[in-house]
Structure 1
Amino acid sequence: MKDFHASQVYMLMSFMTSLANATMFTTYAIYQVIELGLNPLQLLLVGMVLEVTVLLFEGITGVVADTYGRKRSVITGMFVLGFGFVLEGSALWLGQASPMISAFMWLLLSQVFFGVGATFISGADSAWMVDEVGEDSAGRIFMRARRAGLFGSLIGIVLSVGISAFWGANLPYIIGGILYLALGLFLLVYMKETAFVKPDRKEGGGLSSHWKEMKATWLSGAQVIRSYPALIMFLIVTLFSGAASEGYDRLWQAHLIHEIGFPASYSFPTAVWLGIIAVLSTLLSLLVMWIVERRIDMSNQKVVFRTMFLLTAARIVAIVALAFSPGFEWALMSVLFFELIRTMMGPMYETWLNLNIESKSRATVLSMMSQTDALGQTGGGPFIGWIGTRFTVRASLVASALLFAPILLVYRRMKDGR
């Protein structure tokens, strides 16, 4: 049986999860907005259920990863996510088969599995990789994995468009769920964990001792954050970023479908237009990743903070431009601009965090960051959705842009060393 190096396994995970996610989420609006007929508030409620689940389970699952092993946590997450996505794709059929429970309610239930599965993986995958390959190689592998993920996204986009347009708007979710289940089986065989040091366990065992171990690990992660001011700043960034991005992520496709429209001169199905946007975004992101990997010194914190400050300001501009787009062409440029910014910020954020957290608490601290992101999305999402239902989706997008503004102040202080 062939052995895979940890970096190869991590890049394969990035490729497969990106493939599955692009298959499901490229045309999600056709399923949720057109097929199921969800309004802006319902779209944000779907996100709220997901994020409340993350908020409740993120800390627990992060501690599980640091206490019992990152491999166990990641594989568990893959199987839970796979089941959740299959359930989400089946919500349409289940709603038709059971009039007592609507498709919307099945959709909400699937978000619980989505959230639990995501929390098992969040932080654990990158913590496992950093421990296995060493901190010096982590930044380079994060970049390479991101690039591998973009190639997976390209394939997933094509699958999403073809499946949604010709077979069924819900089928991309079922295919994506099956891909997650297949990845879980692969990791069960080929994912090795050699660098993880299991915390010392006291004699006696039992359920109470397990909870004590997890509590101790969680408290150590909280202590790391309290003792490092920059991590506290990043908590604030993550909180507002979560609140702002939730509105954009859930509503930009609905904005294009209902308020902007697609060019009438080309009689393409909606799935094809969304696929074209996703392909353009991914190709441009590949180019940007190639430039960033060679031009930005990821080890220089001032350079990283200055870049993230500028990119956050650009995010605000991109969302406002989308909200007030006079036509499809302007909206397309705004969406592509926003996605390029997101692509650049991800590896910077992950690299900086992983290199400034102790190994023994790495997965816990990363999970706490994800928990903060979930808190922001839980608090901001329904309010932004209400604005879209009460007024317009344009108004929701403007509100999302405004929530990015406090992040500029935080990055300014971090850049200046205050």
Structure 2
Amino acid sequence: MSAYRLFLVLSGVGAFAGNAAFTLNLVYQSQVVGLGPWQLVLVGTVMELVCCAAQVPTGVIADRYGRRRSVVVGQLLMGLGLLLWGLVPTYVALLAANAVWAVGAVCVDGALEAWAADEIGAARVGRAFVRAGQLAQVGTVLGIAAAVALAGVDLAAPILVGAATTLALGVTLAVAMPERGWSPPAAGQRSIVGSMRAHLVATAGVVRRHRVLGYVLAGTLFLGLGSEGFDRLAQPRFVTELTLPGTLTPPVWLGAFAVVAAFGAVPLTGLLGRLVDVTRPRRVARLLVAVQAATAGSVICFGLADGIGPAVAAYLAAAVLRHAAAPVLNAWLVANTSSGTRATVFSIWSQVDAAGQIAGGPPAGWVGQRVSLGAGVVTAGAFLVPAVFWFAVAARRHPADVEVAMPDGTCAGQPAA
């Protein structure tokens, strides 16, 4: 299988496995494991903290020892974490499973995008990211449907199916995943710690030389601050502050919203894909500004809406835009990083996003508890406004004909020979 097709399969099947495991995960934790509200929050916090702490080391290992190895190990660890998650319904086992899954997730995060950029090539990688985003959205819908169907048998069943699928995907990648575009570093034989230090210094140098990356990281921090509040408060607001039609139960309505958002993001991602060109990073940056501005407006409108109709419209708009924005940001980062530090830069970007999520949930939750859930959502939306500002700064400061090294030796802003 070609690298292009393998990347698409991994994106679609991975999204199916993840959504099958996580769609009703909180129901499993509360009803089967018996966790209370504080324990539920603590489990999520442990996951985010492990993700944040492991981002840089795993990114350095991917740059030093190969992206293929990092992705394969990550898939296997995620599968083992989910397997422990579903087989041992205790609080301690759940904390351990979250930690194992989180390490696996950050092994894949960044390394997969860097692998795709190196193996697919500059001419097709932008299209690959967009098409992978579409397939991931389809996988999301199928995963949600599988979770709902399997939960009727046993609440642990969707998690175990997600675990088995993830493990099978890891074994498949170990056999079929090529790695021809990556070259190991020169045989200086630094220790892992020394290699981490050298890569971090090199990445900091990239950010200093190319300030636009710094602006994007600042925007990413605020994206994380806003996303966690929206994720935690949106569904409770539908249940407690808004009146959903009585024709369906609230869980069914919320599941329907998730499916509509995932399907709605497919054509939008395709439209954005026709506008994304990694050899024109300034254009990609402007597109990102427009998408994030629309997302911030939709989140704020959802928090302010009183009627169910406007609230559903704003919620779906925000959900669709958030789905569709990820491939655009991935393409932008690829256009502004070289192969040698790409995995590390992606990992630092993910670490900044995780730090924002850790810090952003409590303020929005406090406002939601003291004032209203709608006010908490508005607070989350307010965090997104500075993100739009920083992305706008990045777009404005981006040189029109910037030369950024690409995996095939060409430069962004210059056509290949």
With structure 1 as the length reference, what TM-score do the two structures score?
A: 0.87
1:283 matched to 2:263: yes
For 1:138, the equivalent position in structure 2 comes to 125
Q: After superposing the two structures, state which structure 1 stretch, 11-20 or 317-326, moved more.
A: 317-326
Q: Secondary structure at the match of 2:241?
A: helix
Superposed, 1:3-402 pairs within 5 Å as: 4-31=1-28, 38-39=36-37, 44-90=41-87, 93-94=89-90, 103=91, 106-164=93-151, 166-202=152-188, 209-260=191-242, 262-266=244-248, 268=249, 270=251, 272-295=252-275, 299-402=279-382
Q: Secondary structure at the match of 1:200?
A: coil
Q: How far off its partner does 1:132 sit?
A: 0.9
Which residues of structure 1 form unaligned runs of 5+?
A: 95-102
Q: Secondary structure at the match of 1:125?
A: helix
Q: After superposing the two structures, state which structure 1 stretch, 55-64 or 247-256, moved more.
A: 247-256
Higher relative contact order, chain-length normalized (CA < 8 Å, sep 6+): 1
> What letter is aligned with 1:247?
G
- Tell me the matched-pair count: 397
Q: How far off its partner does 1:298 sit?
A: 5.5
Checking the alignment, whether the CA contact within 8 Å between 2:133 and 2:324 is kept in structure 1 is: no
Query: Following the alignment from structure 1 to structure 2, what is the Cα–Cα distance between the partners of residues 33 and 397?
Result: 24
Task: Calculate percent identity across the aligned residue pairs.
Answer: 32
Q: How far off its partner does 1:327 sit?
A: 4.4
1:73-111 alpha-carbon deviations (Å, 9 max, x no partner): 1111111111222333456x32xxxxxxxx4x5444433
Checking the alignment, whether the CA contact within 8 Å between 1:47 and 1:246 is kept in structure 2 is: no
Which residues of structure 2 form unaligned runs of 5+?
A: 399-417
Q: How far off its partner does 1:155 sit?
A: 1.4
Q: 1:346 to 1:59 in 2, by over 3 A?
A: same
Q: RMSD of the TM alignment (CA)?
A: 2.4
> What letter is aligned with 1:236?
A
Q: Secondary structure at the match of 1:252?
A: helix
Q: Secondary structure at the match of 1:196?
A: coil
Query: Following the alignment from structure 1 to structure 2, what is the Cα–Cα distance between the partners of residues 28 and 134?
Result: 37
Q: After superposing the two structures, state which structure 1 stretch, 338-347 or 116-125, moved more.
A: 338-347
With structure 2 as the length reference, what TM-score do the two structures score?
A: 0.87
Q: 1:46 to 1:396 in 2, by over 3 A?
A: farther
Query: Following the alignment from structure 1 to structure 2, what is the Cα–Cα distance between the partners of residues 334 and 38?
Result: 31
